[in-house]
Amino acid sequence: MAAITTCPHIVTVPVSLFKRTPLRHFRQLPGPEMRRMFHRAPEAFGGSTDRDLLAMALGATLYVPATREDLIATISRRAEHGVCSMVIDLEDAVADHELELGKRQVVATLDAFASGTDPHPLLFVRVRDADTIGEIVDMLGGGASALTGFVFPKFDTTSGAKYLDAIVEASQRLGRTIFGMPVLESPALVHRQTRDHELRGIEELLARHRERVLAVRIGATDMCSTFGIRRDRDLTIYDVRVVADVIADIVNYLGRTDGTGFTITGPVWEYFADHERMFRPLLRTSPFAESDAVPFRQYLVSRDLDGLLREITLDRANGIQGKTVIHPSHVAAVHALSVVTHEEYADALHILEDDVGGVAASEYRNKMNEMRPHRSWALQTLLRARIFGVTNKGVSFVDLLKVLVAL
């Protein structure tokens, strides 16, 4: 098989290197491990046009600079290790003088994956402005089929309409839905005096383009910069109150489950290397002792992943699904904590048995299930079960994370 031809400075790989496996989470796990871990295996979602399903499937969305020389090979390698959504970044990660090279690499990369025989991660392009969307579409050939959508940085009521109009035009020109993912991070949104006005305007803009908005992303790094803050690795974003308040308001306006809301994804965790710690680790020892994994806990602490695990848990508690990641080591943590436990699955099925209201003890006899108040949670849980699967009884996120990290 001949190598794919691309523009100068782009490393090429043969089409034959793309594996013939369906796009689904945990496809990198061997069959015996899948059977040991899962009561219900994750479903394939590659090629789906179901917006809610794809939004849940984003999981850990890994960013990669568009100017990376081995861009095609990097995406292929990450896909083999379980990454199911990636953003090729033309904004902050690309120097001004390299922007045109980055655009050419975006197009060549999409062409390469479109000409392959295998599903690839959901691929998005983060542009600098709305005009770049049209430029990329103009340059695309067969690579259009590999493009899932665009990411809109610093989305607000001033820039938002132009971004969304560009997505409409791109969809019409390419003959299929091209999704948009706005990133909420602008000062007008962060400042208390203008936040409600800004969120109302954003809500109205997104509502007019509901079927083309895959998810709303939170840019916490830019929010922190508004106050000259860089959060420490010993803290989660929810410990930074001025930013946590913004996140709460975003979920309140845009994350409702009454049919008016959108999937909201969690902000990036910036740290991935060893360091001196000021505070005690955030991971309890007991779950790891039960799984005979105390040394594994020490590994997670040494890589600052205990803070990430806590932040993912707080994301979920605050109505957020999935997460932006900038390092491959973060992907396994996000996905392991996205799997539905057997107990959660049993509760969800119990709650959805009948729509007659009432309260009853759970199958695990450790909580009360309220049939109507918990119904939205149960529906979301079953959607997550389709995408990330359901663990066997007695299997914890620690068991799954150990296997994923070892691959």
pLDDT digits (tens, 9 = 90+) for 143-173: 999 999 999 999 999 999 999 999 999 999 9
H helices present in 255-396, as ranges: 286-290, 294-302, 305-317, 331-336, 342-351, 375-388
Judged against a pLDDT cut of 80, whether residue 382 lies above it is answered with yes
Q: Which residue has the higher pLDDT, 21 or 295?
A: 295
Give how far Cα 383 sits from Cα of 32, 163, 264, 390, Å: 25, 29, 15, 11
Task: Of 6-10, 161-165, 180-184, give the lowest mean pLDDT range.
Answer: 6-10
Q: Are 375 and 382 in contact (CB under 8 A)?
A: no
Q: Enumerate the domain spans of the chain.
A: 51-336, 342-388
Strand order in the sheet with 147-152: 264-265, 216-218, 179-184, 147-152, 122-126, 85-89, 60-65, 323-325
pLDDT band at 15; cut points 50, 70, 90 = very low
The helix or strand, by DSSP H or E, that contains position 188, with its residue range, turns out to be helix 187-190
The fold adopted by the segment(s) 51-336 is TIM Barrel (3.20.20)
CA 250, 49, 258, 334 dihedral sign is negative
Span 271-293, mean pLDDT?
Answer: 64
Q: In whole angstroms, how large is the CA radius of gyration of the chain?
A: 21
Q: Tell me how far apart the alpha carbons of residues 223 and 56 are, in angstroms, rounded to a whole number.
A: 24
Q: Are 75 and 96 in contact (CB under 8 A)?
A: no
Give how far Cα 90 sits from Cα of 63, 65, 103, 136, 360, Å: 10, 7, 7, 11, 52
CA 289, 291, 295, 300 dihedral sign is negative
Judged against a pLDDT cut of 70, whether residue 280 lies above it is answered with no
Number of other CB atoms surrounding residue 1 within 10 Å: 8
- 237 secondary structure, DSSP code: G
Q: Quick one: what percent of the chain has pLDDT higher than 90?
A: 76
Give how far Cα 381 sits from Cα of 137, 294, 355, 365, Å: 36, 30, 17, 19
pLDDT value, residue 2: 36
Judged against a pLDDT cut of 80, whether residue 351 lies above it is answered with yes
Q: Tell me how far apart the alpha carbons of residues 326 and 64 are, in angstroms, rounded to a whole number.
A: 7
pLDDT value, residue 20: 39
Q: Tell me how far apart the alpha carbons of residues 259 and 255 are, in angstroms, rounded to a whole number.
A: 9
The tally of CA atoms less than 13 A away on the side-chain side of residue 212 is 24
Task: Please report how the helices 192-207 and 160-174 are oriented relative to each other, as an axis angle in degrees rounded to 10.
Answer: 20
Q: Tell me how far apart the alpha carbons of residues 36 and 395 are, in angstroms, rounded to a whole number.
A: 9
Q: Tell me how far apart the alpha carbons of residues 91 and 102 are, in angstroms, rounded to a whole number.
A: 10
